[in-house]
Amino acid sequence: MSNFCNRLTYHQWLALIAVVLGLFAFVAGDPYSGSRITIDTKELASIVEGKVDHVTALELADWIIQEKTDYRLIDLRTEDEYSEYHIPTAECVALPDLMELPLQRTENIVLYSEGGIHSAQAWMLLAARGFVHSKMLLGGFEAWQDSVLFPTLPENPAPSELAAIEKLKSVSAHFGGAPQTGGQAISEVKRTITAPKNTTPTATGKPSGGKKKKEGC
Amino acid sequence: MNAPFFKFGAFNEEISLVIAVLIGVGFGFFLERAGFGNGRKLAAQFYGYDLTVFKVMFSAIVTAMLGLFYLSWIGYVDLSLVYVSPTYLVPQILGGLLLGVGFAIGGYCPGTSCVSAATGRYDGFVYLIGIVFGIFVFGEMFSIMESLYSATPMGSITLPQLFGVSYGMIVMLVVFMAVGGFIFAAWAEKKFAHLRPEEQ
């Protein structure tokens, strides 16, 4: 035995170690089982504190306009609400189905519900499963309506605000909305939103875009 | 602290870019030390008399694989947070063939051409110019090639998922494949030694 060991070169020793580790790997089992995450409350608190757990409606609107494909937008509202109107690129997933969805933890997941409570609960459920990088749409679908589709513009804007207002108008127009000025009856206009329904941009480069949307519904 | 460090928020995106540069420099340094700045040495593997590239690359794969497997197994690395690039079978086979042909003709792959250029070799610089030109042509032709580019998508699939076997089995098989490859390389280097040019 010692004779055999002495005859081995440095490279052969390394190869032998690799073979032993390879053989042990075969019986060692699944490497993923060693990486289960339990809730780290301090970590979650720091995520919330750092405000990296959410995106604003305008940030999301920018992503959609830029045709970004590195996020996955999930609509947690009911199927009827989804078919009536949904944010472009969103897929409809009911909260109980979210746990069954084959999500990847490297994905940039953005959740939204009507007001934001459901999405916050879903965010916590995902966080418990280790999806600590998922995000919520701040203020939910209501914020999307108020900030993107029907933003309220000041009646007498200061010159420094003009550029921002123009951008807001073009973002709103992109999604078929209409900015409001102070006096208009917003609620009446809101009822007429139908245009954005079919404005889902085609996901460029990623063939999964269209297919995914049907999964949840 | 657990890895991957970036995914667990150990540093931000800007720092991650700095770290990427440092890792890149380190990678280039070791490629150069292994002799990969020399196009003749790289092309030699296609003649069979010097399979250093094959051996170094396979050693790197086995080392990284065993390292990741065991670090993950003891719970230090969260493998599910490691990015797996998606597979597009047909375009990636075509791309692999194209890269292989370019490698055999010119003596460099993209990474080693950077190493070669960094050591001041003219052929490395020519390769780098070719890479930039190729990127430009690809960008301009993208609309024509888009259907091929995204053909046969298989998602972020790994070998254990594809074959329905355990991760450990794939690790073991790859180690065996590597050891077999090293034995073959030793045999080939003797068999084709007569092809080695005098100046090497």
Q: Give average pLDDT by consecutive 10-residue segment, chain B, 200 residues.
A: 73 88 93 89 88 90 93 83 88 94 89 92 92 94 90 87 89 94 92 77
Read off the pLDDT of residues A110-132 as tens digits, 9 standing for 90 and up.
999 988 888 888 888 888 777 77
* Cα(B18)–Cα(A45) distance, integer angstroms: 28
Which run of H or of E encompasses A72? strand A72-75
pTM, two decimals, is: 0.59
* Cα(B125)–Cα(B128) distance, integer angstroms: 5
CA end-to-end distance (rounded Å), chain B:
48
Which residues of chain A have a Cβ shorter than 8 Å from any chain B Cβ? Answer: 11, 14-15, 18-19, 21-23, 25-32, 34-35, 37, 43, 46-47, 104-106, 130, 133, 205-208
Amino acid at B180: G
Cβ–Cβ gap B156/A29 under 8 Å:
no
CA distance B79 to chain A (A): 6
Q: Residue A177: is it exposed, middle or buried by C-beta count within 10 angstroms (0-12/13-18/19+)?
A: buried
What is the residue extent of each domain of chain B? 38-81+171-200
Read off the pLDDT of residues A158-202 as tens digits, 9 standing for 90 and up.
777 788 888 888 888 888 888 877 655 454 445 455 444 444 443
pLDDT of B199 reads 54
Nearest CA in chain B to A26: B168
Hunting for tokens 């995902």 — which residue is that?
Answer: A126
Helix axes A117-128, A41-49, angle to 10 degrees: 140
H helices of chain B, where?
13-33, 39-44, 52-73, 89-106, 110-118, 122-149, 159-163, 167-191
**Is B11 strand, coil or helix?**
coil
* Cα(B135)–Cα(A117) distance, integer angstroms: 46
Contacts of A133 (CB under 8 A, 6+ apart): A105, A108, A109, B7
